[in-house]
Amino acid sequence: MAVLGVLTVAGLLVLWPDGMGRSAAIDEAEQFGLVTEQFDATVESVIEAECSYSDPADPQDCISFSFVVHEGPEAGALVVLPEYNLSALSPAPPLSVGDAVVLGYEPSTAFYFYADRDRGNTLVWLTAFFVVVVVALGRWRGLSALVAMALTVVVLVWFVAPSVLDGNDPVWVAVVAASTIAFVGLYVTHGFSPTTTVALAGTLASLLLTLAISAVFFDIANFSGLATEEGLTLPLVADINLSSLLLGGAVIGTLGALDDVTVTQVATVAELNHRNSRLTVAELITSGIRVGREHIASTVNTLLLAYAGASMPLLLVFAASDQPLGVVANSEIVAVEIVRTLCGSIGLVAAVPITTIMAAVLVGTTTDDNNPDTTSADDAPHDSSLSWEDFGPIDDL
């Protein structure tokens, strides 16, 4: 683990962004009109009436919004947006007088447009509530988990995105970032201890296995990365290998679930050993995998539900298209999530025996020579030898 830690630091130093790629991407985005200024504003009036260009033979209803801008070159001014035709395909924004919004602004034409609602206060209050709940229930461990979460955000925002925009391989960036997050997150949250180190080792080993499997099947599936709006936009502003970007995202996406599994398995084995220090390595593995099997049964669905929950609008669009399930699954935007889910789930399943064995070897006894009187619950002597059944114990019915 010390060697892996040194390699992770070396990777950070080699791949650390200099900001040039991000600056160039911003310049390119500005040329394509993808970058606009945004200012806070408040809805002043909402007027629904017949459109000014409406014809008696073809009456059309419009809605007009006016806003008071609080920032920018015209702070305090009243801005009236063009009429919005209610017959348009997309519905008008559901705004009311007094709502806080964000207006986009194009300096070259002094043109304002509605960008989004202002959710800043909502996010601040929700974050504060989240912090209070975590600290109240988790105490110092909860506080350390929040610190680890903040550091994870720092790695993703200050390292991953700028480094990829600098032209570095997204897969290598994702691997270094995942290793950094694993080291920092586990040690900050759970402290420096042998059990934490075992959980970290199991996490990284399972993550590398997931990467290897994902790399094979992503290559076989020939994903282009152009199935989403973001995938079509990125090549316009930066030179990025979108296929590698998809693979890198799969690696980082699997890390969170792996942490959960490995930490739980190490804690289970450590607790079993604490309650009965005479248990052998084989017994610890058997019991640990029995617990891990139940954990995996509930965790396998985790990645699927996470991806499906984020893709609900897409699922509804496919349902409305009345296409066969095989056609829908074959489309790249859905197939990517399927491959991510299955490859990530394989890594989760593999994490159970990998981490359990490591933890059992660390804390368990290999022989019963020093405990001749040790017997199991059924008064049979301990068998310290490992067999295949230890890695796939039969559940007691």
The DSSP string of 313-346 is HHHHHHHHHT--HHHHHHSHHHHHHHHHHHHHHH
What's the confidence (pLDDT) of residue 315? 73
CB-based contacts of 56: which residues, under 8 Å, 6+ apart?
none
User: What are residue 64's DSSP bridge partners?
Assistant: 47
What's the confidence (pLDDT) of residue 158? 93
| pLDDT tens by residue, 184-220 | 999 998 888 888 999 999 999 999 999 999 999 999 9
Owner of token pair 């009187």: 373
What CA dihedral angle connects 357, 361, 363 and 369, to 10 degrees?
A: 130
Owner of token pair 């791949």: 15
| pLDDT tens by residue, 129-165 | 999 999 998 888 889 999 999 999 999 999 999 999 9
Count of residues for the chain?
397
Cβ of 54: how many Cβ atoms within 10 Å? Answer: 15
Among 98-107, 301-310, 359-368, 387-396, the range with the most confident prediction by mean pLDDT is 98-107
What's the confidence (pLDDT) of residue 143? 92
| pLDDT tens by residue, 64-82 | 999 999 998 889 999 999 8
Q: Please, what is the end-to-end C-alpha distance for the chain in angstroms?
A: 40
Q: For the chain, give the longest Cα–Cα distance.
A: 101
- C-alpha to C-alpha distances, 207 to 16, 119, 252, 262, nearest whole angstrom: 22, 36, 9, 11
Q: Which domains does the chain have, with CATH numbers?
A: 37-118 (2.40.50), 137-391 (no CATH)
User: Mean pLDDT, the chain, as a whole number?
Assistant: 84
Q: Region 343-364: what's the mean pLDDT?
A: 88
Confidence of residue 39 (pLDDT cuts 50, 70, 90): very high
Owner of token pair 């699997």: 254
What CA dihedral angle connects 214, 148, 123 and 340, to 10 degrees?
A: 10
Element (H, E) at 151: helix 120-154
Element (H, E) at 120: helix 120-154
> Phi/psi class of residue 380: alpha, beta or left (left: φ > 0; alpha: ψ in -120 to 50)?
beta
Portion of the chain with pLDDT greater than 90, in percent: 41
Cβ of 372: how many Cβ atoms within 10 Å? Answer: 8
- Judged against a pLDDT cut of 70, whether residue 368 lies above it is answered with no
pTM over 0.85: no
Among 45-59, 163-177, 289-303, the range with the most confident prediction by mean pLDDT is 163-177
- Judged against a pLDDT cut of 50, whether residue 383 lies above it is answered with no
- Judged against a pLDDT cut of 90, whether residue 324 lies above it is answered with no
Q: Which of 188-192, 324-328, 332-336 has the lowest mean pLDDT?
A: 324-328
Burial tier of 5 (Cβ tally within 10 Å: 0-12, 13-18, 19+): middle
What's the confidence (pLDDT) of residue 9? 95
Q: Region 260-275: what's the mean pLDDT?
A: 89
- Judged against a pLDDT cut of 80, whether residue 35 lies above it is answered with no
